[in-house]
Copies of this chain bind each other. A is one copy, B any other.
Amino acid sequence: MSTSSIPARPRMTSQDYQAFDALFALSSSIGSTDAGGLHRLTASAADKQMRDAFCLWLKQQGFSVHVDEIGNIFGLMTLVEGAPWILCGSHLDSQPQGGRFDGAYGVTGAAATIAALVRQLSEKPARNLAVVNWTNEEGARFQPSLTGSSVFTGALSLKHALACEDAEGVTLQAALRSIGYDGNALPPLPLAAYLELHVEQGPHLEQQQKQIGVVTETWAALKWQVTFRGEQNHTGPALMSRRRDALLAAALTIVAVRAEADRHGEVLHTSVGRLETAPNSPNVVTREATLFIEFRSVDEALLQQLRDSFSQQMQSIAQQTATDVSLDRAQFRPRQQLDNSLSQLALAQAEKLGFSAMPMRSVAGHDAISLSYHCPSALLFVPSVNGLSHNEREFTAEQDLHRGLDVLMAMLSELSLAPEAAE
């Protein structure tokens, strides 16, 4: 009987799920591919269309909309003048021919959940609520990735971010201007917490038969952009011994990058996802090849060691192929802890809702990682079928999506209605 004086906490109703389903379906339809995926690169026509639809939806639900200078879209729900904010979100951009859940789930889920919460408010909250769409999380069209969230926290300067160029030399600034999303500086937005819902994009929840993953920390990552320079020549008469083939150097490097993963086992993930070559003509020895290399590990010391040993290995490859190699860009993303109190809250609320949940690590970067340097942040995962992501067949069942919303709703309720209890 002691709990009867506490008003019932808001919960997602079937109408709330339907509102989410409709918004998510709208997202899935803008930039959709024939195979059921999503192709919605940052500041493309599809991105503009989705942004327009999202802003309209926010206004219809009573959010006040602000677009900042890097194109981040904030949907602000001021509930208590002057109180700190709880921000929830993710990103609406996708990989080329990517999946429709990655990012879009987190933005539409946050928006629908906040709207549902506000509709059900029966007591005055202690926090304001906001949803955000971060610009260019994927890093597909513009590098580096996590652009919008990194500018928000100050980890990346606005000037640097706006000057990033795509493969055609278009700057992010020009691209945002062309779709009308070069906005204005955001007024101060003191954050009490940042919460992000995301699909796992890996196999662990499925393998462990869990419904909710609470990310407690992330792997570290070492990302390199490397260029080999050789000499253009005729692929016919030029003597093999005289060739300075930048594509051969790149190929040897790609093979060596994979060999590192094979050598170190499951603690290291490696890849080369992008390769640019010139002149890329069938009869011409390649003059220049640029590789985008990633090493990801839970073991920072291993990455530090690779930084040296793999540099040496690339020097050997350059020597072997009579090419020159240069490191154009290097980025080290340290292993990062998410906020422990928020993670505990997430696990407790999931359990309370009757869901099976587990703490886990994230290999991929997410906007929540950017935000975790700025304010207490939480990152929640729902299962990905076959762990497949950045793929048109990326899939998460509707029920799993709804469970994520339930946990988010419970956390928002705790944090906004009884913040001291939760924090």
A284 and B279 within 8 A (CB): no
Chain B nearest CB, measured from A41 CB (Å):
9
With known contacts A97-B279, A255-B252, A282-B292, A236–B364 Cβ distance under 8 A = yes
**A-B CB contact pairs (8 Å), 29 listed:** A97-B232, A97-B278, A98-B279, A139-B281, A140-B283, A140-B284, A223-B282, A233-B388, A233-B390, A235-B271, A235-B294, A236-B269, A236-B296, A237-B363, A237-B387, A237-B389, A240-B270, A245-B258, A247-B272, A247-B273, A248-B255, A251-B251, A251-B255, A273-B285, A274-B277, A275-B277, A275-B280, A276-B280, A281-B390
Chain B residues in 8 Å Cβ range of A292: 282
Q: Which stretch (A3-11, A200-208, A301-309, A347-355) binds chain B?
A: A200-208
Count of this chain's copies in the oligomeric assembly? 2
A282 and B274 within 8 A (CB): yes
* Among candidates B202, B245, B282, residue contacting A237 with C-beta atoms closer than 8 Å: B202
A375 at interface (Cβ–Cβ under 8 A)?
A: no
Number of interface residues of A (CB under 8 A): 72
Chain B residues in 8 Å Cβ range of A294: 235-236, 282-283
Q: Complex formed: what's the CA distance from A278 to B221 in Å?
A: 23
A139 and B247 within 8 A (CB): no
Q: Complex formed: what's the CA distance from A143 to B280 in Å?
A: 13
Q: Complex formed: what's the CA distance from A391 to B262 in Å?
A: 38
A392 at interface (Cβ–Cβ under 8 A)?
A: yes
A231 and B391 within 8 A (CB): yes
Taking CB atoms and an 8 Å cut-off, the chain A residues in 44-87 that contact chain B are none
Taking CB atoms and an 8 Å cut-off, the chain A residues in 341-360 that contact chain B are none
With known contacts A96-B281, A272-B247, A389–B238 Cβ distance under 8 A = yes
Chain B residues in 8 Å Cβ range of A234: 201-202, 364, 389-390
Chain B residues in 8 Å Cβ range of A240: 261-262, 266, 269-270
Q: Complex formed: what's the CA distance from A272 to B262 in Å?
A: 26
Chain B residues in 8 Å Cβ range of A38: none
Interface string of A208-241 (1 = CB under 8 A from B): 0000000000010101000000011111111110
Q: Complex formed: what's the CA distance from A276 to B280 in Å?
A: 8
Chain B nearest CB, measured from A270 CB (Å):
7
Interface string of A353-392 (1 = CB under 8 A from B): 0000000001111000000000000000000000111111
Chain B nearest CB, measured from A73 CB (Å):
22
* Among candidates B238, B274, B392, residue contacting A387 with C-beta atoms closer than 8 Å: B238
A138 at interface (Cβ–Cβ under 8 A)?
A: yes
A149 at interface (Cβ–Cβ under 8 A)?
A: no
Chain B nearest CB, measured from A302 CB (Å):
14
With known contacts A95-B283, A96-B281, A282-B292, A392–B273 Cβ distance under 8 A = no
B237 and A201 within 8 A (CB): yes
Chain B nearest CB, measured from A231 CB (Å):
7
Chain B nearest CB, measured from A284 CB (Å):
5
Q: Complex formed: what's the CA distance from A275 to B276 in Å?
A: 9
A250 at interface (Cβ–Cβ under 8 A)?
A: yes
